[in-house]
Amino acid sequence: MLRSIKGLKDILPQQTPQWRYMETIAHTLATQSGFSEIRIPIFEFTELYARSIGGSTDIVEKEMYTFPDRDGSSLTLRPEGTAGVVRAVLEHHLLDSPSTRKLYYLGPMFRHERPQAGRYRQFHQFGVEALGTEDPLMDVEVITLLWRFFCSLGLKDLTLQINSIGNLQDREKYIQELKRFLFPKLEVICGNCQRRYSTNPLRILDCKVPICQQATQEAPTLFDHLSLDSSSHFQSVLDGLTGIGIPFSLNYRLVRGLDYYSRTTFEITSPHLGAQSTIGAGGRYDGLVELLQGPSTPAIGFAVGLERVALLLPEQISFPQPPLFFLAGFGKEARPIAFKLLHELRELGIRADTDYKSTNLKSLLRSADKLGATYSIIMGDDEARSKTAIIRNMTTKTQELITLEEIAQKVQSLN
């Protein structure tokens, strides 16, 4: 039997209502806050990701799906959304307007990671980007939108962790100190981190290997190395969050896995997900637009991992809505009339269904029950000839004979 690729997941009919629910709330909340939707391609030139995410990050080093195009150019399936959005914004001059450009997206991302619960090779993100302001209130706005998204979905026990990783200059000074601290521990940290020591030492703080986490426990924090500018910016973000009542917890170790971040960084975690507990994360990326050859443009965004959110949603949304009416037409003359009625009900916007596999009344009513229909409209050849139908309440089992002329009115009254 042919199977899907490892780490990829079908979203089956009983799960799609959850997805529609998440997507609807994402569209509604983002639009409400003045973000416009952007849809960008699923693959781009590899160079875009290599330049923006950073050559020595996990994503670029080992997680990208990269392949040569027929003309030899190197293409990559998008591992995240920000780089592509910034590329599109620059290509289409969307930064020319005087106000902040606020965009959001929904769609699949691709990373060649080890598949496990909450970690897939194709996964979906809802993300927003606000480009053109460094005002800390924009940080508060973006974080609040993320928080509200989860609250609207009814998620509980969430923690917002927040940190500031300063600007490039702050980090350069800090990295020297971090390396001095880590030097005597080089023997004990994992092979990956030994390599990171020279390529990207900040990443060591983000390593999930326990021995590395332990080794960095007492490490100096970037937070203590922030410039006055960065720390007062951060304080304003925290004041803003406090002002509107979003609870947060400071996590001085939070560094995030992509190179383009600066200043405010944050993650929202749930205690109900095991190891893959981060459901949404983001931060400022004040240098990225310039790095991609655009004008100097401070920006901030977040991305939500929708598969992980889906794991937290209550099960009841995971069932499709049952039909209000089940058309139980049987017999040669009745079936086409019942079929036409089914079509008419749907035209009226009423949830209606039938089952072509059942050909007698008993099995039809069993199907109606299985689908959870509220009413059945029963029509055999006798009813067809007398232009009538029987409406059966599937709960009380009471029945009523009505004429086909009355049916539209009757159905509307029950809707």
Cβ neighbours around 146 below 10 Å, total: 27
Among 13-21, 118-126, 162-170, 404-412, the segment contacting ligand ATP (CB under 6 A): 118-126
What track of x and - describes contact with ligand ATP for positions 8 through 47 (by CB under 6 A)? ----------------------------------------
Residue with Cβ nearer ligand ATP (138 or 279): 279
E-only strand ranges, 155-255: 159-164, 249-250
The verdict on 120 binding ligand ATP (CB under 6 A) reads: yes
Q: Of 51, 101, 102, 111, which lies in the binding site for ligand ATP, with binding defined by CB under 6 A? A: 111
Are residues 132 and 99 in contact, defined by beta-carbon separation less than 8 angstroms? yes
* Amino acid at position 147, single letter: W
194-223 residues in contact with ligand ATP (CB under 6 A) are none
Question: Smallest Cα–Cα separation from 343: which of 332, 329, 330, 333?
Answer: 329
Give CA–CA dist 156/151, Å, rounded.
Answer: 7
Residue with Cβ nearer ligand ATP (269 or 367): 269
Give CA–CA dist 53/51, Å, rounded.
Answer: 6
Residue with Cβ nearer ligand ATP (220 or 257): 257
Q: Of 112, 119, 148, 253, which lies in the binding site for ligand ATP, with binding defined by CB under 6 A? A: 119
Q: How far is the CB of 7 from ligand ATP (least distance, A)?
A: 8
Give the neighbor-by-neighbor strand order of the sheet with 159-164: 36-37, 101-110, 122-131, 299-305, 278-284, 262-269, 159-164, 249-250
Give whole-number Cα distances, 156 to 17, 64, 111, 270, 290, in Å: 20, 33, 28, 8, 38
Residue with Cβ nearer ligand ATP (35 or 123): 123
Give CA–CA dist 59/95, Å, rounded.
Answer: 27
Are residues 151 and 318 in contact, defined by beta-carbon separation less than 8 angstroms? no
Helix (H, G, I), strand (E, B) or coil at 397: coil
Give CA–CA dist 88/41, Å, rounded.
Answer: 10
What track of x and - describes contact with ligand ATP for positions 79 through 98 (by CB under 6 A)? -x------------------
Q: How far is the CB of 280 from ligand ATP (least distance, A)?
A: 6
148-167 residues in contact with ligand ATP (CB under 6 A) are none
What track of x and - describes contact with ligand ATP for positions 248 through 287 (by CB under 6 A)? ---------x------------------x-xxxx------
Cα-to-chain-centroid distance, residue 118: 12
Task: Count residues near ligand ATP (CB under 6 A).
Answer: 18
Q: How far is the CB of 119 from ligand ATP (least distance, A)?
A: 4
Question: Smallest Cα–Cα separation from 235: which of 257, 246, 214, 250?
Answer: 250
Residue with Cβ nearer ligand ATP (113 or 353): 113
What track of x and - describes contact with ligand ATP for positions 288 through 327 (by CB under 6 A)? ---------------x-x-xx-------------------
Q: Which residues bind ligand ATP (CB under 6 A)?
A: 80, 111, 113, 118-120, 123, 125, 257, 276, 278-281, 303, 305, 307-308
